[in-house]
Structure 1
Amino acid sequence: MNMLQKFSGALVVIVGVVSCFTASAQETPPEAYIDPVDRQVAESGEGIAGRPYPCAVEEMEDGDAVISFLPIDECVKMLPAEEWHGLWRNDFEGSQFCARPAEMCHFDSVEDRVWLETRLMQGEVGALYEVRFIGRRTMFKGSYGHMGASAHLIVVDRPISMKMVEAPPPPMSKAEADAEWDRCERAGNCISIKELKRLHPALDFSGTTANR
């Protein structure tokens, strides 16, 4: 399957399951890449004609420049498949795996985070699962997963078992949302309801704090 992420101007269209690279992908060492051209781009820190980033191809479609990214396991070197057992935290824009004997799994629980590429597993957002599967891990430490925030990535090739061990948290009440808004206002890092609506037009924000 050819799974691509396409960028055209300010519009982003996602096709299939995506392995996303950003500018921080250059933190991944050049020797991690399969293609010699990608190694060259990573070493120089500069793209070449038609290859702006490692594992990316730039083409013209209807007059627009479109950049397509390869799936991660077609892009970087992977270790042989093996059986994995541990905890999977399925967050919004997050997919963290903590191998046994870990007893907890969240963003700050480990120094070297592992992103789990779960094309073959589905779970509730916000839940924690005990999982067992056959998968391949990236050979070299680098910048993987959402925003390049994980040191490694594992591709699930064959799920074996999956059991929810922690249910998703309940939605915030209006009082809790107001308290969180007050906290982030004091910290100076709030995102306005107007901006949230722009980013997530399908979500209902009618029960939250007024549009500040």
Structure 2
Amino acid sequence: MPGIRLTAVFAFATMGVSVPAAGQFAALNPEVFANPEDQQRARSLDQPCTNADEGHGCYRYDGRLIREAPCTYHLEAGAIGSKPTDQCYKMEAPRRYRGVWVDEFEGQAFIPAGTRAPKWPRGNPESPEWRKEADRAIAATIWLDVERVDLDREGQRGGRKFIEFVGRKTMYSGNYGHMGMSGQEIIVDRVISLRECPETGPCG
């Protein structure tokens, strides 16, 4: 089903990593969420579950009670689904965008016209400076969600392309896209034009 993504809440729980520290729920600002129910879930994530909470904001897994994260729901026993981005987070009004779309395996990104691709750090990933540079790169990276437009039928996926489209961007920065490695996400509602970038030289 388009826009539905499985979350790894169970894996995080068994690894000792809290749900708030995972992916898109790293930032607990309730204001980022579109619905009051999800805002309340964000406020309650740090509160321990009691037996009385089971089925009312908490669920049991592997004998433990776990608080439900914002925007999640139960697909079936042992499986949790997550709402599409625009049903979970507040979005800006639709507008026109143009720029370079990099569509590579696990390396998808949108670079608006007039800007440069974020610079990812090199060197020791355990150093504080590396972490700061990585955080800056993540914050500047934009994930492009093209699931609502049919590009596969035209064989237009993969590589670098110049794209002009109408879309909606997340109102607040966070951790979006693959592994939460993008600071923003834009949902493409309508493609205006799409063309291949040359192998060398500028794309535009």
5 Å matches for 1:41-56? 41-46=41-46, 48-49=57-58, 52-56=68-72
Question: 1:25 corresponds to which residue?
Answer: 24
Instruction: Assess, with a 3 A threshold, how the Cα gap between structure 1 residues 67 and 37 changes in structure 2: closer, same or farther.
Output: same
Structure 1: stretches of 5+ with no match in the other structure: 11-20, 168-212
5 Å matches for 1:85-124? 85-102=98-115, 104-105=116-117, 108=120, 112-119=140-147, 120=149, 121-122=151-152, 123-124=156-157
Mapped partners of 1:107, 1:124: distance in 2: 24
Aligned length: 152
Q: Structure 1 counterpart of 2:40, which letter?
A: Q
Which structure is higher in RCO with an 8 Å CA cutoff and minimum separation 6?
2
5 Å matches for 1:36-185? 36-46=36-46, 48-49=57-58, 52-59=68-75, 61=76, 64-102=77-115, 104-105=116-117, 108=120, 112-119=140-147, 120=149, 121-122=151-152, 123-125=156-158, 127-166=159-198
- CA RMSD of the aligned region, Å? 2.9
Instruction: Assess, with a 3 A threshold, how the Cα gap between structure 1 residues 7 and 38 changes in structure 2: closer, same or farther.
Output: closer
Identity value in percent: 30
User: TM-score, normalised to structure 2's length?
Assistant: 0.63
Structure 2: stretches of 5+ with no match in the other structure: 12-19, 50-56, 60-66, 121-135, 200-204
Report Cα offsets for 1:14-62 as digits up to 9, x if no partner: xxxxxxx982322333211012222222233348325722100125x3x
User: TM-score, normalised to structure 1's length?
Assistant: 0.61
Instruction: Assess, with a 3 A threshold, how the Cα gap between structure 1 residues 54 and 106 changes in structure 2: closer, same or farther.
Output: same
